[in-house]
């Protein structure tokens, strides 16, 4: 289990997260949604051990998140993270050399699904195809926790739908948890177990997607309620768990 316990993260002139307490359990696909600068990416970076909280604790299986937590957490950044002079094959070779849980055969299967080929130069790939490559390298790991930060950025709607459906194929929810930050809510909703809304570093609410459907609502409907039609005001005493 991943646990953020009263976590605050401050930068020089901004507070990215404010006293956030939340948990993520294995076997679930969770979406974190919110406007730009709301704290989504900061949350994933804290879990991945790339940032340290200003106060509070970030625990992964009761271990404090730090650089060594990469053995348990596979993280895909929204930023460019693969050397531009690499070929697709070079990138696969590099990840295989860095992570013991990297599954070469699964990587090859995902490359085929993503329509990527070994000789292609990273610097010549479109933004969407670079995103596909980053996703391939992340999903090819057997880490217990998979973090994808805006994985569908740069992909056209037809491709997004196909890749969203493919995510299920390459995640073992008996052993893994998937946490996704995204703006593509409608496309990702069919595979989500729960969804978290965040604004200006604070959690506005969390809902089980199946409960929303049972009440005749979509995730978008719920978000419109939470965000107050753009005012983003929400009064909730909900315990985030």
Q: Any residues with CB less than 8 A from the CB of 155 and at least 6 apart, and which? A: 128, 131, 132, 163
d(CA 24, CA 28) in angstroms, rounded, equals 8
Quick check: is 165 in a domain? Answer: yes
Structural domain containing residue 18: 2-230
Is this structure's pTM higher than 0.85?
Answer: yes
Q: What was the pLDDT predicted at 100?
A: 95
Residue 230 has pLDDT above 70, yes or no: no
CB 221 within 8 A of CB 237: no
Mean pLDDT score of the chain: 89
DSSP 8-state class, residue 70? G
Quick check: is 132 in a domain? Answer: yes
Alpha helices, DSSP H only, in 80-124?
88-98, 104-113
Q: What is the tens place of the pLDDT at every residue in 15-38?
A: 999 999 999 988 999 999 988 888
Quick check: is 238 in a domain? Answer: no
Q: What is the tens place of the pLDDT at every residue in 149-193?
A: 999 877 777 788 888 888 888 999 999 999 999 877 888 898 999
Confidence label for 206 from pLDDT (cuts 50, 70 and 90): very high
Residue 3 has pLDDT above 60, yes or no: yes
Quick check: is 192 in a domain? Answer: yes
Q: In the chain, what percentage of residues exceed pLDDT 70? A: 94
Quick check: is 160 in a domain? Answer: yes
Q: Residue 16, SS3? A: strand
Residue 205 has pLDDT above 50, yes or no: yes
Please count the structural domains in the chain: 1
CATH number of residue 88's parent domain: 3.40.50.300
Quick check: is 237 in a domain? Answer: no
Q: What is the tens place of the pLDDT at every residue in 114-150?
A: 999 999 999 999 988 999 999 999 999 999 999 999 9
Quick check: is 241 in a domain? Answer: no
Residue 199, strand partner residues: 202
Quick check: is 125 in a domain? Answer: yes
Q: Which helix (H) or strand (E) holds 204?
A: strand 202-208
Residue 92 neighbours by CB distance under 10 Å: 23
Q: What was the pLDDT predicted at 229?
A: 55
């Amino acid at each position: 289990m991943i646990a953020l316990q009263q976590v605050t993260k401050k930068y020089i002139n901004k507070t990215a997260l404010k006293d956030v307490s939340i948990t993520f359990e294995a076997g679930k696909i969770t979406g974190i949604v919110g406007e730009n600068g709301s704290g989504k990416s900061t949350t994933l970076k804290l879990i991945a051990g790339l940032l340290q909280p200003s106060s509070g604790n970030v625990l992964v299986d009761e271990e404090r998140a730090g650089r060594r937590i990469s053995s348990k957490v596979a993280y895909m950044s929204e930023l460019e993270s693969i050397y531009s002079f690499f070929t697709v094959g070079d990138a696969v070779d590099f990840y295989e050399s860095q992570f013991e849980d990297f599954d070469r055969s699964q990587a090859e299967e995902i490359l085929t699904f993503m329509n990527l080929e070994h000789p292609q130069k990273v610097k010549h790939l479109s933004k969407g195809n670079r995103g596909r490559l980053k996703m391939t390298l992340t999903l090819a790991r057997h880490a217990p926790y998979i973090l994808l930060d805006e994985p569908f950025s740069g992909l056209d709607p037809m491709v997004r739908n196909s890749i969203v459906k493919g995510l299920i194929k390459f995640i073992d929810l008996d052993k893994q948890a998937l946490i996704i930050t995204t703006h593509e809510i409608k496309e990702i909703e069919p595979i989500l177990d729960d969804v978290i809304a965040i604004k200006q570093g604070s959690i506005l609410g969390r809902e089980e997607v199946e409960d929303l459907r049972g009440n005749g609502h979509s995730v978008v409907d719920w978000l419109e309620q939470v965000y107050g039609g753009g005012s983003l005001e929400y009064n909730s005493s909900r315990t985030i768990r």
